[in-house]
Structure 1
């Protein structure tokens, strides 16, 4: 039987409520699955036919160590998504090179545009960690400068009022096929809490959202087992990419009953 590792992280950052349904779906499709911690030195990665990177949410604290691990794994077995994807996608400066509409982003602490509100965050981050929303331009500059002083690349973006009404739209693709789409609550809305990120509803994406998401997939020169394309609408109403999640996205499997089987089918195709 083909056997694959489902890779997660250790400790509180490693909590993953999708590993059980996912591995069960693999087994139903004839793929043996085992959950492994990416930084467990006892694991023999070469024993697996493929290693599937999933909830490695602690990589943001030790990105170079994680990438060294990924490079080593790819030297002995199939890594999904591939190392080149993980290297690029774990630093959000990839947004500069997508060649599709993205949320306007200023990449330094100097010369900030005059926006009503700002969102400041580091280019290597996850789950809105170290992210601040402010209407004070001087504060936004100071926050960006502090990130630079710490050796981190700042991202300064306008806060989009449209997100308050519409939220973020996440399109989930497995091996290039759209599996399902969810509307996510805006994490930086006033009164939002950490639990709001997991709050989502299935939705049917608009044609312009699907068109943009598939342009993003076309722009990635690698085969992707999974991709989550996060979109928002600008004040003009046009969709724009806020993030392309190709490393450790939450997949909202519980929202779409067929999603685990869709993922398992995609994995079998790539194997």
Structure 2
């Protein structure tokens, strides 16, 4: 990566946090660079585990694509707690990087995909009933280590048990969820919220096509390709998203962004599959004005941290 050019010491400096595999940022994140430059803000990509980065030299540190943290989550959480001006903040990172937060949100009345949890060392066998299930680790980024299993297929049953053993042997908690078939037709809806003067405001929505076609057979890269298109959010989806955001510990004013991922439940009503507050793709290239709205959100948090 090129060394940053000298900057006007009076300009605010913002770090966009990434990982070594994306040292020059994800292409979607690069779309915010021109709007930030137009606002007189100096921006630099910075790799989260690079010991040479002086995090205290930045006025704001924005988590964007540190997508290699999943197997080093404890290290990542400790790192986050040392970074001044981090958004979203370290306590949010700690809470949101373990998907057991879904149980808390469900208990708070948020409609969520039914989920059971298998602790490391705990015995597990596929349910006796047939049907399709999704298995994934409670700590993951993207769709890493995630598989879809048809329990009517004996081979899938064996592969599902092996998947849980593989995660358990690595000391990881497994999530077990029914696969909701509407994903194959409607896909997932991701609702994006960005900070404004009065807190988070809805920005845009996208559709993610179905990604899980079968069992997880081992490592397949840092992240899987996604089929993304723009989408208009429906009132019932926005209502679930607002209920989800209202249940976040510490409230939403602390947040720069939030992504609420919904899928249709068995009755067609939206249910939460994931709440992304740590390093979500924001898909700002799929909505008119979204790069400017993200730049405005960063400007808002710069003012709060000044």
Tell me, yes or no, whether TM beats 0.5.
Answer: yes
Contact 2:204 2:290 (8 Å CA) reproduced: yes
Match of 1:65 among 75, 89, 92: 75
Q: 1:31 aligns to what?
A: 41
Q: 1:60 to 1:250 in 2, by over 3 A?
A: same
Q: 1:263 aligns to what?
A: 294
TM-aligned CA deviation for residue 112 of structure 1: 3.6
Q: For 1:12-91, what aligned pairs fall within 5 Å after superposition?
A: 16-73=26-83, 77-91=84-98
Contact 1:6 1:36 (8 Å CA) reproduced: yes
Bigger-Rg structure (1/2):
2
Match of 2:210 among 186, 189, 194: 186
CA-based RMSD: 2.2
Q: For 1:1-271, what aligned pairs fall within 5 Å after superposition?
A: 1-11=11-21, 16-73=26-83, 77-98=84-105, 99=108, 100-108=110-118, 109=124, 112=127, 114-136=129-151, 138-139=157-158, 140-175=160-195, 176-189=200-213, 197-220=225-248, 221-222=250-251, 223-271=254-302
Q: Distance in 1 between matches of 2:23 and 2:165?
A: 28
Q: Distance in 1 between matches of 2:175 and 2:289?
A: 36
Structure 2 unaligned residues grouped into runs of 5+:
1-10, 119-123, 215-219
TM-aligned CA deviation for residue 235 of structure 1: 1.4
Q: 1:22 to 1:147 in 2, by over 3 A?
A: same
Instruction: Provide the aligned length of Structure 1 versus Structure 2.
Output: 266
Q: Distance in 2 between matches of 1:236 and 1:189?
A: 23
Runs of at least 4 residues of structure 1 off by over 6 A? 193-196
More divergent stretch after superposition (105-114 vs 61-70): 105-114
Q: Distance in 2 between matches of 1:189 and 1:101?
A: 25
Contact 2:129 2:151 (8 Å CA) reproduced: no
TM-aligned CA deviation for residue 33 of structure 1: 1.0
Q: Distance in 2 between matches of 1:198 and 1:15?
A: 17
Contact 1:13 1:58 (8 Å CA) reproduced: no
Structure 1 unaligned residues grouped into runs of 5+:
none
More divergent stretch after superposition (148-157 vs 44-53): 148-157
TM-aligned CA deviation for residue 142 of structure 1: 4.2
Q: 1:184 to 1:147 in 2, by over 3 A?
A: same
Q: 1:208 to 1:256 in 2, by over 3 A?
A: same
Q: Distance in 2 between matches of 1:136 and 1:105?
A: 17
Q: 1:207 to 1:105 in 2, by over 3 A?
A: same
Contact 1:182 1:201 (8 Å CA) reproduced: yes
TM-aligned CA deviation for residue 267 of structure 1: 1.5
TM-aligned CA deviation for residue 57 of structure 1: 0.4
Contact 1:6 1:23 (8 Å CA) reproduced: no
SS at match of 2:266: coil
Q: Distance in 1 between matches of 2:226 and 2:169?
A: 33
TM-score (norm 2): 0.81
Q: Considering fraction of residues, name the structure with more helix.
A: 1
TM-score (norm 1): 0.91
